[in-house]
Amino acid sequence: MSTLLDIQDLAINFKTRSGDVHAVDGVSFQLEAGKVLGIAGESGCGKTTTALSIPRLLPSNARLVRGHILFDGVDLMQFSEGEIEKIRWKQISMVFQGAMNALNPVKTIGAQIIEPIVWHEPAIARGDANQRVLELLERVGIPAARARSYPHEFSGGMRQRVMIAMALACRPKLIISDEPVTALDVMIQAQILNLLKDLQKQMNLAMIFISHDLSVIAESCDEIAIMYAGKLVERGSIRKVFSQPAHPYTQALIRSFPNIYGKQELIHGIPGYPPNLIHPPTGCRFHERCDRCIDICAQSEPVLREVGEGQIAACHRIGETLP
């Protein structure tokens, strides 16, 4: 298997009036072609920032502090604006949050799906492009006749299907889905997840799947990366991380969700709030909320180390026997 995406030591700041927000700090991960990586973590931990940095779509107040994003072996950060535009959608497309207003309200969905096709493949015949739009719609379960409808004429779930059809339009290698099912109701969530999974398998797509809902990730991903306050705290295969979570934050996250494999359990929230990212805490960023915190946690930052086969975590207390 070949590595499609290799993110190395990514660090991103946002400039604001009150100071620099250290939104992502030292995140690394790899993704192989055809695999699905889930990114989980509480709100504000930098999931969207990480995702948007890959096709370089961050807002203008964002700054790349360090790091490389290798896609098919080349560093996207070195590309000119014109070069990255050629990568966007053609190679890396996105599915945004279901409730978001990600479709243009004054254009038909057909026009919006065909737009990237004719833009990235100028040689394509209009008829072929139209044909592809209809096929895509069919694939995501929307009657072809609805290509002439406007976004407001669809339900939330249907809009998300449109979004997925659009993401597939240029046959990309990588799809980044940022909370694709959040804010949809549960029945619809399951449908959309199944659709995404099926398409991913059929087309052998690589996918990054962002969600703050661990159960959603457990169902759809091969690997998982857990982020906390801009840091990657744990990474590994779904099976490993869920059965033997190494980082206290991962453990707390798993505890705070209903048991995905078994019966519903009591939901424990994690006490406290994520820290301010303008002045992040010293040492381990989680230490203030950690129930296993010791002196060193507030002083030195833990590094990621191997805790099992293909599983890494950043915690000073790894290796000690669990209480």
Partner 1 sequence: MNATAVPASRPPNLWVQVWEIPLGRAGIILLGIVLVLSLVGPVVFPFNPKDITSTAADILQPPSSMHWLGTDELGRDVFRETLVGARLSLLVGLLATAISITLGSIIGLLAGYYRGAVGITLMRVTDFFLVLPLLPLIIILAAIFGQSFSITIMVIGLTSWPSTARIVRSQVISLRERQFIERIRSLGATDLRVIAVHILPNVLPLIYANTVLVIAGSILSEATLAFLGLGDPVRVSWGTMLHFGFVAGAAGRGAWWYLLPPGLGIVLVVLGFTLAGHTLDQLLNPRLREF
Partner 2 sequence: MLRFGLVLKKAVQVIITLFAVITFNFLLFRVLPGDPIRLIARAGNLSPEAISRLRDLFGLDKPLVTQYFYYLRNLFTGEFGMSYTYRRPVIDILQERIANTVILLAAATVIVVLIGVAAGVIAAARRGSKTDQSLVVTSLVFWSLPTFWTGLILVILLGVYVKAFPVSGITTPGASFDSSFARLLDLGKHLVLPTITLAIVDMGQFMLITRSTLVDVLTEDYILTGKAKGLPFRRVLWGHAVPNALLPIITTTALYVSLVIGGAIQVETVFSWPGMGRLMYDAVLRRDYPILEASFLFLAATVILANFLSDIMYMVIDPRVKEA
Ligand X SMILES: Nc1ncnc2c1ncn2[C@@H]1O[C@H](COP(=O)(O)OP(=O)(O)OP(=O)(O)O)[C@@H](O)[C@H]1O
Residue 14 is a binding residue for ligand X (CB under 6 A)? yes
- The item of partner 2, ligand X, partner 1, none sharing an interface with residue 48, based on CB under 5 to 8 Å by kind, is ligand X
- The item of partner 1, Mg ion, partner 2, none sharing an interface with residue 61, based on CB under 5 to 8 Å by kind, is partner 1
CB of 284 vs ligand X, minimal distance in Å: 18
CB of 15 vs partner 2, minimal distance in Å: 12
Which of 3, 64, 150, 219 binds partner 2 (CB under 8 A)? It is 150
Which of 66, 86, 239, 268 binds partner 2 (CB under 8 A)? It is 86
CB of 45 vs ligand X, minimal distance in Å: 4
Instruction: Give the start-end residues of each E strand in the chain.
Output: 3-16, 19-32, 36-40, 62-71, 74-75, 92-95, 174-178, 206-210, 223-228, 231-237, 305-308, 311-313
Residue 43 is a binding residue for ligand X (CB under 6 A)? yes
β-pairing verdict for 174-178 and 92-95: parallel
Residue 271 is a binding residue for ligand X (CB under 6 A)? no
- The item of ligand X, partner 1, partner 2, none sharing an interface with residue 88, based on CB under 5 to 8 Å by kind, is partner 2
Q: Answer whether 25's CB lies under 8 Å from 11's CB.
A: yes
Q: Answer whether 278's CB lies under 8 Å from 22's CB.
A: yes
| Alpha-carbon dihedral 213, 219, 223, 228, rounded to 10 degrees | 10
In this complex, which beta carbon is closest to partner 2, that of residue 119 or of residue 242?
119
Residue 63 is a binding residue for partner 2 (CB under 8 A)? no
Residue 48 is a binding residue for Mg ion (CB under 5 A)? yes
Q: How many helices (H) and strands (E) does the chain have?
A: 10, 12
Q: Which positions from 17 through 36 interact with partner 1, judged by CB under 8 A?
A: 17
| Alpha-carbon dihedral 310, 314, 317, 320, rounded to 10 degrees | 10
β-pairing verdict for 206-210 and 174-178: parallel
Residue 94 is a binding residue for partner 2 (CB under 8 A)? yes
Q: Answer whether 25's CB lies under 8 Å from 89's CB.
A: no
Q: What are the φ and ψ backbone dihedral angles of 63, each rounded to 5 degrees?
A: -130, 135
CB of 84 vs partner 2, minimal distance in Å: 8
Neighbours of 112 (CB within 10 A): 21
Give the CA angle between residues 44, 99, 16 to the nearest 5°: 35
Residue 102: strand, helix, or coil: coil
Residue 101 is a binding residue for partner 1 (CB under 8 A)? no
Residue 16 is a binding residue for partner 1 (CB under 8 A)? yes
Binding site for partner 2 (CB under 8 A): 55, 57, 81-82, 85-90, 93-94, 96, 100-107, 115-116, 119-120, 150, 152
Binding site for ligand X (CB under 6 A): 14, 16, 21, 23, 41, 43-49, 59, 61, 212, 277
